[in-house]
Structures are given as C-alpha cells and as structure tokens.
Structure 1
Amino acid sequence: MLCLCILFGDLGKEMNRKILVSTIFFFMSPSTHALDLVEAYQRAKLTDPNWQANLYQYQADQLNMGIAQGALLPTITVSGNITRKHQDMDQISFPGINGVSFGSSDLVASTSTTRQASITARQPLFRMDAWEGYKQVKTSVQLSEVTLRLQQQQHILSVAEAYFNVLRQQALTATHLQEEKALLEQLNMMSAKLREGLVAKSDVSEANAQYQNAHANRVATGVQLILAQEQLSQLIGNYQEKLAVLRDDFQYQKPVPGALDDWKNLALKQNLEILQAKIQRQYADDQRKVEKAALYPQIDAVGSYGYSKQSPETMITGNGQFDQIGVEVNWNVFEGGRTKKSIQKAAVNVKKADVQVDAAIRKASTDVKKSFLQVETDQATLQARKAAMQSSEVVSSASKAQYNEGLKSMVDVLLAQRNAFSAKQDYVNAQYDYLLNVLKLKASVGQLSEKDLEEMNAWLIMK
C-alpha cells in the first residue's frame, strides 16, 4: 500500500524536505512485482467473501434437483415397536371338545406385550404435484445459473472499477504533488523577491492562496487514494505490490461492432437481466402448475413385510411373519377454497412476471444505448482532453517566460499553471472513464468475461 500520510509544516526547507519524502514514498514500493488487473481478479475470486457466498448459494441451488427427484422415486421405511397392553376382562367359560372347556383368558391375555418390526416400500404412481414441483426446480436451477453469470459480471466490474480507481487516484495524487511542489517553489521565490522589494505583496498573497488551495486538493486526493485502496483490499485482500499502470501510448479503440443497432440486437438476445426475467416468468408459471396439481389425486403403490410376536401366547395369537401389498389413493376434494385462491394468486404472479420481462427489455435497451454512446463520446473527450493538456502546458511555459520579461503578471502565470494541471487531471479522468465504459458496454449485452480483463491487461505496464 502506498504511504501518503504527509505532514506539512512551515514554509522553507522543512516543507521542501517533506514534499520530497512524500514523493519518494508515493513512487516506491516494497516489491518489484506489479499486480495487474487479471491477477487482482484471480485474487478476488479466491478471497472475496461476497463472491464465495454467491458460489455456495449456486451449489446449494444445484442440490435442489436431487431433492425434487426424491419425491418421484421409491421410499423405504424401517419401523419397529414394542407395545404393552392391559385390559380388564370378565371370565367366561366355553364348552370344549371331549369335555374339555376353556375360558376367555385362554383366548385373550389381560396383559400382553407385542413386539413388531417391519419394512415398508412406497412408489409414487401418479403424483402430479411432485412432477410439477420437479419441473419447477429444473427452472430454478436454470435461474441460479443465469444469476451466477450476472453476479460474475458485476464482480468483474467491481474489481475493475476498484483497480482503476486506485490508478486514477494515484495519477491525480501525483499531479497534485507536482502542482503543490511547483507552487511552493514559486511562493518561496516570490517571498524572497518581496523581501528585496521587487514584487508587490498582493502577488505573494496570490501565490500563497494558490499554494494553499493545491495543498488542500492534494490532501483530499490522498484521502481518496487511501479509500480506493481500502475498497480494492476489500475485494482482493491485503496487498503490498504496486499496481500495473496505464501505458503512456494508450489509445482509444472503437467498439466492435460499430453500429448501435447491432449492440441493441445483441442485448435483446444475450442480456442477462432479460434472460433472468424470462426464466423468472417461467418459474412463476411453474408455480401456477404446482398449485393446480393439488386438484389431482395422489396414487402410491405400497408394500410391507414384517414380523410380529406377542407374549404371553394365547390360542389366537398370530405370531410370525406378515406381508401386504396394495395401492393407496389420497384426494383432497375440498380444502376450504384454499387451492382455488392459491391458483388465482399464482396466475397473478405470472402476469407480474410478464411485465417484469418487458421492464427488463426496456432497461437493457436503454443501458446498451447509453453505454455505446458514452464509449463513442469518450473518443472525442479523450482527444479534446489530450489536446487541452498539451496546449495548456505550452501556455504555462510561455507565461513563465513572459513573466520573466515583464510581459505577464504573477496572476497570469499562476492561472496558466493551474489550467495546465487541471487539464492533466481531466485527461486522467477521461482515460479511466473510458476503460470502465467499455466494460459496462460489454456487460450490457451479457458478454463481459475474464477475457476482457486480459485484453485490458495489455494496456497496463509496470513502472
């Protein structure tokens, strides 16, 4: 991380020394390795907790498919019980065979213990609710895949924006440092001339005012740089390397395809928000079918096998193995009107999803148009900012020479110098605005990927 904690004291040698130290700290790093954009994104994929949460949510959504399939497959249940029963009984005698009689206690014990174990298998034969639920889960899995792709695009944009924002603030801080140093030198020079009676006090006051303004701007930019570094650290974790910076020969590149209509067509076909809205509409329709499935009966094949033993044994005790097989039908014929209202509610949600699809299409059309026109405008902006920067530097140098010849005042010199540094800052902002607008244009048509970061990496070098 760059050190920008610079304390400025009184004017003079101490100030010059501290400015020099701050500049050295700004441009030096403990590592010769430069962290480029692709490497920063790779770190973000491994360390960003929000992205990790998105991945875990996607994995959890994929498991829903197995849960839904389970409702259509056989289920096997093993059960067992021990039951102790006591019953008061009247003693009754029954005539037997060959003169042997028996009582009610020989048929049924007043106190008995029954032990039973069984295994039961159930196979759905007709379960419309489970089948429609399974199809809805398939739709939800598709939705989770599109949602993850959308989140990945946003993650790429977030990392790129944080990375370029650090570079932007570094460049602006360097410019403000240069301006502050130049104004300090002029202020010291004017103060010396004032003591010799060669300049008016108002010129020194103007130089001091410009210096104080530059100092405040440098401090504010330094704070913004620290905040930008913290934002990047939040995504990629703590880092000590310098960042690869934008090449000096950076050039504007025209978007391909070059026509707005082509980009609109791409957005209608590939925009992830449109695709997400369409799948959400399908999910809502699946929910309507799930609610409607409650009108149908549920038919299952059921079979069981087990063993039962009762003690004490009586004449009618049925100890031993048993098995049974059959078909079970359950049909909720009336549930107080709840099923009907649930179907109506689901139908309304389908209509809601329909208008959300239309809203997504309109938004995508607006976003791609805005991004395309912004990238197109960036070409003229970059050219204008670069020309203004070069021109203002010439004017600033000429103003200094004319001041030395007595043709310009110090106010003119300071104004020209301020315009030169301001033009340089405008050009820096225009460069990074263009880079981010290119990524936003790709995202508007659902094409933003790691490949785009690799292409932008070619514009970065280590300094």
Structure 2
Amino acid sequence: MKLAFTRISAAVLLTLSSSPLLAADLLDIFHQAVENDPVILAAESLQQADAEIVPQSRSALLPSLTLTANTQTTDREFNGGASPSEERFNSNGYGAQLIQPLFRADRWFNLSAAKATKKQAAASYRDAQQELMLRVATAYFNVLRAEDNLTAAMAREKAFAQQLEQANERFRVGLIPATDVYEAQAGFDLAKVERISSLEARHNSVTTLKSLTNQHYKSADTLDKDMPIADPSPAALTDWIELALANNPQLLAAKHQLEATRQAMKAEKSGHLPTIDARVSYAHSEEGGTSFLGNESDTQVFALELSLPLFEGGNRNPKVREARFRHEKARHDYENSYRQTREQIQTQHRTVTTDVLRVKARQAALRSSEAALEATEGGYDVGTRNIVDVLQAQNNSFDARRNYSNAIYDYLINLLTLKRVAGNLSEEDLAAINQWLVAAPSVANSS
C-alpha cells in the first residue's frame, strides 16, 4: 500500500498563499513608512533644521538697521545764585543706525562652515532615506520568510501526523515494530514544536514591520517564483568600489563634516584679526528747559570703525585649540568611514555573488531531496526502507524547500544592501522587485 505523504510544491515556499497582517505591496508599505516611520521623520526634521544655519550665518554679513526712540522727564534744581529755582521739562528723541560689516573674516569662514554643515545634513538625510528603504524591504521579506517557514512547518506537521497515523495502523496489523511508531511520534512532536516556533517568528516579524508604518494589514503581495536571480550589475568589483567612494552618503557626510570643522577652525583663528564696519546714524532730539543753544538738534554720523582685539581674558587660544582638535576628530572619522565603505562594498559584493550561486545550489538540492523522498517512500512500501529513513527523507525535503526560499530572500536583501553601501539605492530598485510581487487575496486578521 502507498503511504499518503503530503507534498508541497516548490512554489509554496516562494509565494505566500496569504499573509494575515500585510497589505498591498512593497512600494505601498514603503510609502506608508515614509509618512509614519519616526526615524525618517526625525532625520527630515534634523536636515531642515541644519539647513537654516546658512541664512543665519549669511545674515551676519548683511547690513543691520536699528530704529530707536526715547522720552524722558527731567527735574532740575538751581541752588546757586541769589534765589534758588527749579524746572521740570520733557525730552524726546528718535534715531536710526545702519551698520554694514566690511571686513569680518570669522563671519565669512562661519558661512563656509554652515554651507558644509548643510551639505552634511543633506547627505545624512539621503543615508536615512536609503536606510529606510532597506529596513522596509528587510522587514517585508522577513515577514514573507516567516510566513513561508510557517507554511512549511504546518505542512511538515500534517505530513508527520499522517505518517504517525499510518504507522499506528501498520503496527496494529503487525506489519511494523513498535519502534517505528515511536519514531513517527517523535517526528510529529518535533514538527509541532517547529510549527509553534514558526508562528511566534511570524508574529514577531509582523510586529517589526508595524513599527515602521504603525499600520495593520490584511493581505500581502507574494514573491513570484520565476523572479530572475542575477549577478550584480555592474559585475566588476572595482566599479562598485568607485561608486561607493563617490556616492556613499555616510562617507559624503563625513567629508562635509571635515570641511565644516576646517572652516570653523579658520573662523576661530581669524578672531585675532581686526574688524572693519561702516556705520551711518541719524538722531533727532527735542529737549525742554533752558538752553542757550536751542532745544532741538539733529545729528548725522558717517563712520568707519576698526576694532583690533588685543586681549580677551585668554579665551581665544583655547577656542582655537578646541577647533583644531574637533577638526582632527573629523579627519579620523572620515578616514574610518572611508575604510569601512571600502570593506563593506567588497564584502557585500562577494555576498551577493555567492548568493546567486547559493540559490542555484539550493534549487538543485531541492530537486534532489524531492527525488530522494519519492525513492524512499517507494522503498518503504516494498520493505527495503524503514520509518526512520522516511522521516529523515521528509525532513530533508522540507529543509531543502525552506533553505531555497530563504536563499532567495537573502539574495534580495543583500542586493539592496550592496546598493545602499554604494549609495545608489533608490525607490526604482524597490519598484523593480515590486514587479515580481503577485497580489494576494485579502484575509481576515489573525493573531
């Protein structure tokens, strides 16, 4: 008699029948994350705040205009002379002053530092955007991975339950010893444990995805099993290194930070230099009381003012040293980022290239395990194989399917990571993967 083993097609582990807590596709979830992820929202706010440093620094080089007005009451007593006297009168005035900095070296350097800081903020925000793409894709594929593993675990449990039932029937009629029943029971118990663990892993993966979007989902788009697995393009590692050194946002941010600290150091050093300002002022006053010169006056002043700092309590030199040390730190940070970028791009390139071979090998192992399972089942029917052989063949087949599915998800995540290190990960890359997602039917939320 032929045993009723349950089989799962390879497509099951590459596509989800349904995911209870996902909605729409990868791009939809990414767009929701852009609107709801607190990390990217914080990065956006920081980038906008840092961009305001430039107009603040530029304003220090522009004219400043001040209007003033005053009024006062004066009580005056005259005690000398033959007869003391007193008077009370009001005085009023108004004026305006315009100051234009002509030579302020420190302010020009501060403006250059602000521009570099703005570029650093823009690079950091681009890094946060690409990191969000990778986090969303990783979370999405981890949910698909967890759902695949749960589907496989449930199928394994069902198959082992049928195997246990078959073993009990054959034992009752004396065809197999009791040890075969015990082996089948052990296999079923282990499959049940795996199903419970897989269910927990799925819930955890969904929770991670929800933390990015703060959304509850009811359906998932599944990965098409015919999606091509190709080597990274361009294929040459040197091309990827060149891309990374030119575009990696973390490296660019470190480069702009180095420039910002260099300009800040120049600004502190220029504190020893003189400053020159042009000043134009006008004042009108009206005074009561007794005056031989009249009670109204108008004053106009046109001046060039030069100021040379000689001593500031010993504050200048420590500031210069502080700026120099901060510049040294930024230089070391840039060197560290440069080395890490080169190391990461080489590692990721090797990983993706290996992933391509790994997927092909996993696919071949899947075919071999399915053929071995079929042969073992046939041998069990004719008495040349025992229950242990069948259970082991089933385990090998399920593991091969799971490993094949995981290899594909690993390839996709590592490919996106490679692009992120190179600094050219974009929404177009998510859209390219999105084309290979198949819409799944909506299902009720389950927990």
TM-score (norm 1): 0.85
- The structure having more radius of gyration, on CA atoms, is 1
CA–CA distance in 1 between the matches of 2:392 and 2:145? 24
The amino acid across from 1:371 in the alignment is Q
| Structure 1 gap segments, 5+ residues each | 1-25, 94-102
> 1:71 is matched with which residue?
60
> 1:276 is matched with which residue?
253
1:339 corresponds to 2:328: no
CA–CA distance in 1 between the matches of 2:385 and 2:434? 46
2:364 to 370, 373, 387: 387
The amino acid across from 2:59 in the alignment is G
SS at match of 1:242: coil
2:121 to 144, 150, 153: 144
| Structure 2 gap segments, 5+ residues each | 1-15, 441-447
Q: Is the 8 A contact 2:87 2:289 kept in 1?
A: no
> 1:416 is matched with which residue?
393
2:80 to 63, 73, 91: 91
Q: Structure 1 residues 33-42 or 150-159, which shifts more?
A: 33-42
> 2:145 is matched with which residue?
168
Change beyond 3 A, Cα 1:110–1:300: farther
1:43 corresponds to 2:25: no
- Which string of whole-angstrom CA distances, capped at 9 and with x for unpartnered residues, describes residues 134-190 of structure 1? 111111111111111111111111111111111111111111111011111112222
The amino acid across from 1:376 in the alignment is T
> 1:205 is matched with which residue?
182
- Aligned-pair CA distance for 1:272: 2.3
> 2:220 is matched with which residue?
243
1:292 to 250, 269, 279: 269
> 1:348 is matched with which residue?
325
CA–CA distance in 1 between the matches of 2:364 and 2:412? 19
- Aligned-pair CA distance for 1:291: 0.3
- Which string of whole-angstrom CA distances, capped at 9 and with x for unpartnered residues, describes residues 394-430 of structure 1? 2122222221221111111111101111111111111
1:308 to 285, 291, 296: 285
- Which string of whole-angstrom CA distances, capped at 9 and with x for unpartnered residues, describes residues 76-130 of structure 1? 122223334445542236xxxxxxxxx885xxx5644433332222211221222
> 1:460 is matched with which residue?
437
> 2:49 is matched with which residue?
60
SS at match of 2:231: coil
The amino acid across from 2:37 in the alignment is D
> 2:194 is matched with which residue?
217
2:377 to 392, 400, 405: 400
1:376 corresponds to 2:353: yes
**How much identity, in percent, do the aligned residues show?**
32
The amino acid across from 2:80 in the alignment is Q
- Aligned-pair CA distance for 1:284: 1.1
Change beyond 3 A, Cα 1:406–1:318: same
- Aligned-pair CA distance for 1:289: 0.8
- Which string of whole-angstrom CA distances, capped at 9 and with x for unpartnered residues, describes residues 345-374 of structure 1? 322332332232222221111111100111
User: Whose relative contact order is higher, 1 or 2, with alpha carbons under 8 Å and at least 6 apart?
Assistant: 2
Q: How does 1:255-266 map to 2 (within 5 A)?
A: 255-266=232-243
The amino acid across from 1:37 in the alignment is L
Q: Is the 8 A contact 1:233 1:239 kept in 2?
A: yes
> 2:7 is matched with which residue?
none
SS at match of 1:35: coil
SS at match of 1:121: strand
RMSD: 2.3
The amino acid across from 1:414 in the alignment is L
CA–CA distance in 2 between the matches of 1:158 and 1:403? 47
The amino acid across from 1:58 in the alignment is Q
- Aligned-pair CA distance for 1:30: 8.4
Aligned length: 425
Q: Is the 8 A contact 1:159 1:235 kept in 2?
A: yes
> 1:228 is matched with which residue?
205
Q: Is the 8 A contact 2:19 2:219 kept in 1?
A: yes
